[in-house]
Amino acid sequence: MVSRRDFGKMAFAGLPLSAAWSGPGESVVNGVRLGVATYSFRDLLRTPGQDNIDGVIQALQFAGAREIELSSANTEPAGPNSGPAVPPPPSAYPPPITAPTPEQVAAAKLAVRNSLRRWRLATPARNHEAIRAKFQAAGIGLFAYRVDYDEQFTEQEIEVTFMQAKALGVRTMASLTTLNGARRLAPFADKHDISLALHNTANEKDPNAIATPQSFRTALAFSKNFRLNLDIGHFTAANHEAVAFIQENHASISHLQIKDRTRNGGANEQFGEGDTPIKDVLNLIREKKLPIPVFIEYEYLGLGTPQEEVKKCMAYVKAALA
């Protein structure tokens, strides 16, 4: 296991020649394709009502990332799950005399959700085509588009998100959803012939969750276009063995999410300080030459900015592959 001190040293050390970029929009380190999930930048400050693509591009350039899994939280207007908005002047929002009631909180959330639905349905494809052009101009490749579908999505909304993926030019989508959600999504993946990678959770107590190997098999059977976006941190937190699972099921895996968590549902940790076998997984992909891209997802509570922490994570992975 790598100590905090050694981890910090690797983060700022020079990279070996084996870590050189392979080409525009893609980074390959000793045969392993490496990128970043833009969900890592969910806490960037942003303007209410707008996307934060420009900020994400700047963060990716700082971290040295050249390929991404793009989150819809970055392409859509700022909302309750899209990171903090830039606050207005203090005089614009005096403290409330009384706390809002649960009903008022629920009504406010519903209003935001309905507003996002209207935005999705009204926004033309050229919006996401322009986003694609920004990443292309920055030399950053789009591997997948992630949309986390819940029960509130209408059929129209689901259709729109698949059209957004096409406008972005990706052939792979990713989603943290449920078994019920996967059933609803299967006809859309088949209609549009888009690979949909299902993102696992660690919540095995929920029978509707995609969290166990059995639930993986159940979900993958819904569509020939379904794959697994294996989050090895969540998989470890659920007390499963990532290396053995990848060895046996690599043909069903679209890409990996790399984070470090402890077992028994434990917390996110700095890379190298949890129980997730990050190095062993990376070495397996390298040695077996598995065509599975890996994407860093920053979720632990770091002392630096998201940009700085993602850069440290990138350095850790590159050093592990050197």
Q: What is the distance, to the nearest Å, from the Cα of residue 168 to the centroid of all Cα atoms in its chain?
A: 16
Domain range holding 133? 4-13+27-86+102-321
Task: Work out whether the CA dihedral 72, 116, 100, 91 comes out positive or negative.
Answer: positive
* DSSP conformational letter for 143: E
Which residue in the block uniquely carries the two structure tokens 């990532």? Answer: 242
Q: Residue 188: CB partners within 8 Å, gap ≥ 6?
A: 158, 159, 162, 194
pLDDT digits (tens, 9 = 90+) for 128-175: 999 999 999 999 999 999 999 999 999 999 999 999 999 999 999 999
Q: Give the whole-angstrom CA distance, residue 312 versus residue 300.
A: 12
Total domains in the chain come to 1
Residue 97 counted as domain residue: no
**CATH code, domain carrying 65:** 3.20.20.150
Residue 94 counted as domain residue: no
* Longest pairwise C-alpha distance within the chain: 62
Residue 18 counted as domain residue: no
Question: Phi/psi at 104 (nearest 5 deg)?
Answer: -65, -40
Residue 36 counted as domain residue: yes
Residue 10 — pLDDT band, cuts 50, 70, 90?
Answer: very low
Residue 313 — pLDDT band, cuts 50, 70, 90?
Answer: very high
Residue 95 — pLDDT band, cuts 50, 70, 90?
Answer: low
Report, as an integer, the average pLDDT of 193-212: 97
Report, as an integer, the average pLDDT of 274-302: 98
* pTM recorded for the entire structure: 0.87
Residue 259 counted as domain residue: yes
Residue 64 counted as domain residue: yes
Name the β-bridge partners of 36. 68, 296
